[in-house]
């Protein structure tokens, strides 16, 4: 039996960052992980592999659609699927081994196996029981099924994102259930590789929580790229046949029934907290009706000495939210007073164009009755975007009508996922739109579009 200051359960972005931060703060730390590699869903079967596939498939799209216009003559790209998967696996390996290196560097013990908490202060891994003054649950989430539908996920024909990242071949036809982040990122990957992709979304538009203007523009762009998108449709049944599946859905507007065949059905209807096998019931850790571990403002569960962070608790299921919570709980245990502003957690969809947002949407501001102004700038007016043939999209900045303080930003366009951070920092410092507008931005950059949107909150953009 070993004794630690902290044992973290789960080595995803929440857990491994938490363990590193604990070690940095001088706490004797171990991290329990049952997978063969560190990094959790994000590094093994989520964020990182999907970004490799998005990158590779984007280059295929560029070669097919834009090379000739730039004067580059190449034969039509041939896709070596096993090699594309090997490239993705190599990217995963580099990242997961990187975390292993960081654990060694920070003298964090990796307790290999699935952990449970037999009682406060103790963590069981395999046959061994370890002691810890503080236990942090960072057990993450698992894919949800389709609510109210008959469906069996076999990870071959009916898959979650995990199966979709490891298909034996590129499917001819794919149905994606759920027009959220996973559905649109992976739907884009396969659409670019030649798959006929149909996205079926329950709500009246894709990415339901997003700024409506951005979501509408995004839907149009994706349709132009060849994705079929059916909205306002409830999937009732996914029937698995020998080598394909049949998806039955009902259009909510007229109750009409429809069926569609596919070689692969991707279920991307959200994720649920993963807390199985931890022994939380017997321990007395309270869960919400949605299965999330209940915590107070300091990540403390209902059992003293047991904390929880990341996808297993309330809030957006995002790797960077989990990372911030991992750092924060470590700092709290070490006696510091960290703070997370949940209004400033950015969201990014890594399609082409990318979609990114931070702060309030226009809809939320209206709902709250807040007086606001909108500064918008199209990438059509941005020289750099034109130069790289990516001038679709816009930056939309929302600021308080009277004080000019930035309240939110929504971007659809090239590198939106990078551009958004300028506004995250500005909002952290309580900046006004004028602060951003008066900051010199290098030319020619996509960032100039952000400055122009800020100018549009005042006297007006220059290039509009
Ligand atoms: P999501 O919550 O983003 O989207 C699920 C979609 O499915 C919603 O649009 C919802 O209206 C729809 N839906 C629900 N039930 C349905 C039904 N019966 N029929 C049709 N549509 C239905 O969830 P998603 O895409 O599965 O992602 C899971 C989590 O992982 C999310 O919290 C997401 O933010 C996170 N994630 C984040 C990424 C990023 O930051 N780039 C990448 C991938 C995942």
Give 183-207 pLDDT, tens digit per residue: 999 999 999 999 999 999 999 999 9
Summarised one tens digit per residue, pLDDT across range 274-313 is: 999 999 999 999 999 999 999 999 999 999 999 999 999 9
Ligand 1 centre to CA of 368 (Å) is: 25
Out of 178, 234, 236, 319, mutate this one to test ligand 1's pocket (max ligand atoms within 8 Å of CB): namely 178
77 CB neighbour count, 10 Å cutoff: 14
Mean pLDDT of 41-46: 98
Q: Residue 429, CB half-sphere, CA atoms under 13 Å: how many?
A: 10
Q: What is the pLDDT of residue 458?
A: 98
Per-residue pLDDT band at 1 (split at 50, 70, 90):
confident
Per-residue pLDDT band at 331 (split at 50, 70, 90):
very high
Residue nearest to atom 14 of ligand 1 (CA): 269
Summarised one tens digit per residue, pLDDT across range 362-388 is: 999 999 999 999 999 999 999 999 999
Ligand 1 centre to CA of 229 (Å) is: 15
Atom of ligand 1 nearest to the CA of 200: 20
Q: What is the pLDDT of residue 117?
A: 98
Whether 177 has a pLDDT exceeding 90, the answer reads: yes
| pTM (whole model) above 0.85 | yes
Ligand 1 centre to CA of 140 (Å) is: 15
Atom of ligand 1 nearest to the CA of 316: 32
Q: What is the pLDDT of residue 114?
A: 98
Q: What is the pLDDT of residue 359?
A: 98
Whether 65 has a pLDDT exceeding 80, the answer reads: yes
Mean pLDDT of 139-159: 96
Ligand 1 centre to CA of 375 (Å) is: 29
Domains and CATH numbers, the chain: 3-143+272-340 (3.50.50.60), 158-269 (3.50.50.60), 344-456 (3.30.390.30)
- Ligand 1: which residues within 6 Å by Cβ? 146-147, 149, 177-183, 185, 200-203, 208, 234-235, 268-271, 317-318, 348-350
Of the listed 258, 298, 443, 463, which one is catalytic? 443
Summarised one tens digit per residue, pLDDT across range 424-450 is: 999 999 999 999 999 999 999 999 999
**Neighbouring-strand partners of residue 355:** 349, 412
For the question of residue 443 being annotated catalytic, the response is: yes
């Amino acid at each position: 039996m070993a004794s630690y200051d902290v044992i973290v359960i789960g080595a995803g972005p929440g857990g491994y960052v938490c363990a590193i931060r604990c070690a940095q703060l001088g706490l004797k730390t171990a991290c329990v992980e049952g997978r063969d590699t560190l990094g959790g869903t994000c590094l093994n079967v989520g964020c990182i592999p999907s970004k490799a596939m998005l990158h590779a498939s984007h280059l295929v799209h560029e070669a097919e659609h834009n090379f000739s216009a730039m004067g580059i003559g190449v034969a039509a790209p041939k896709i070596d699927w096993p090699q594309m998967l090997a490239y993705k696996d190599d990217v995963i390996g580099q990242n997961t081994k990187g975390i292993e290196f960081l654990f060694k560097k920070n003298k964090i013990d990796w307790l290999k196996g699935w952990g449970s908490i037999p009682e406060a202060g103790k963590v069981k891994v395999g046959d061994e029981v370890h002691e810890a003054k503080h236990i942090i649950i960072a057990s993450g989430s698992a894919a949800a099924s389709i609510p109210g539908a008959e469906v069996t996920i076999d990870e071959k024909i009916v898959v979650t994102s995990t199966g979709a990242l490891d298909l034996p071949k590129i499917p001819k036809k794919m149905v994606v259930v759920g027009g959220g982040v996973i559905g649109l990122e992976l739907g884009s990957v396969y659409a670019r590789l030649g798959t006929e992709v149909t996205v079926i979304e329950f709500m009246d538009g894709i990415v339901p929580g997003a700024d409506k203007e951005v979501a509408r523009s995004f839907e149009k762009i994706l349709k132009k790229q060849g994705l079929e998108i059916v909205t306002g449709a409830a999937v009732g049944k996914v029937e698995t046949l020998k080598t394909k599946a049949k998806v039955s859905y009902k259009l909510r507007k007229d109750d009409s029934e429809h069926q569609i065949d596919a070689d692969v059905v991707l279920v991307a209807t959200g994720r649920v907290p993963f807390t199985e096998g931890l022994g939380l019931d017997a321990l007395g850790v309270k869960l919400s009706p949605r299965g999330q571990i209940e915590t107070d403002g300091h990540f403390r569960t209902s059992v003293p000495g047991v904390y929880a962070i990341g996808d297993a608790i309330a809030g957006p299921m995002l790797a960077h939210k989990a990372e911030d919570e991992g750092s924060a709980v470590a700092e709290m245990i070490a006696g510091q007073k960290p703070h997370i502003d949940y209004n400033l957690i950015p969201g990014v969809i890594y399609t082409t164009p990318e979609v990114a947002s931070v702060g309030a949407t226009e809809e939320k501001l209206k709902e709250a009755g807040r007086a606001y102004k909108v500064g918008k700038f199209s990438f059509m007016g941005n020289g750099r975007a034109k130069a790289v043939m990516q001038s679709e999209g816009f930056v939309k900045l929302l600021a308080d009508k009277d004080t000019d303080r930035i309240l939110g930003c929504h971007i659809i366009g090239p590198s939106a996922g990078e551009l958004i951070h300028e506004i995250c920092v500005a909002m952290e410092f309580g900046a006004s739109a004028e602060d951003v507008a008066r900051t010199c931005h290098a030319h020619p950059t996509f960032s100039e579009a952000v400055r122009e949107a800020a100018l549009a909150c005042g006297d007006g953009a220059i290039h509009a």
